[in-house]
Amino acid sequence: MRDHTTPSEAPEHSGTDTLKALIHEAEAALTSVKEGHSANLEDLRARLREAVDEGKALAANLGKAVKRQAARADDAIRANPYPTIGVALGLGLVLGILVSGRLRSNSAS
């Protein structure tokens, strides 16, 4: 399956990298509070507000990306309905076999 992402659509940083940076920033802020640096409380509040704003922006961007990918999947399914039905049938069959085997082994014990 081809990746339809153009260079202009690719994010500068991945979502996980941004979340890791936000978590690191929050941990640093909490450490400074634990160490009793109450003089930096306003700085801490500003940093946390900024981190929350970045988190909200990231969530909005991820939501848009999910919607964009869902639209692409919908287009692919509409363009190729019969292969899609075959794949869904095959996956359902495999999952059904796995679940029924697991149910049989649980009821036997």
CA–chain centroid gap for 60, Å, is 12
Residue 90 is given by DSSP the state H
Residue reference for tokens 């500068």? 12
Q: What are the structural domain ranges in the chain? A: 15-80
The rounded distance, in Å, linking the Cα atoms of 35 and 31 is: 6
What SS3 state is found at 6?
coil
Each residue's pLDDT tens digit in the chain (109 positions)? Answer: 444 444 444 444 566 777 777 777 777 766 666 555 566 677 777 777 887 788 888 888 889 999 999 999 999 999 999 999 999 999 999 999 999 887 777 766 6
Which pLDDT score is estimated for 6?
43
- Residue of 22, 23, 21, 28 whose CA lies nearest to 43: 28
The pTM score is 0.46
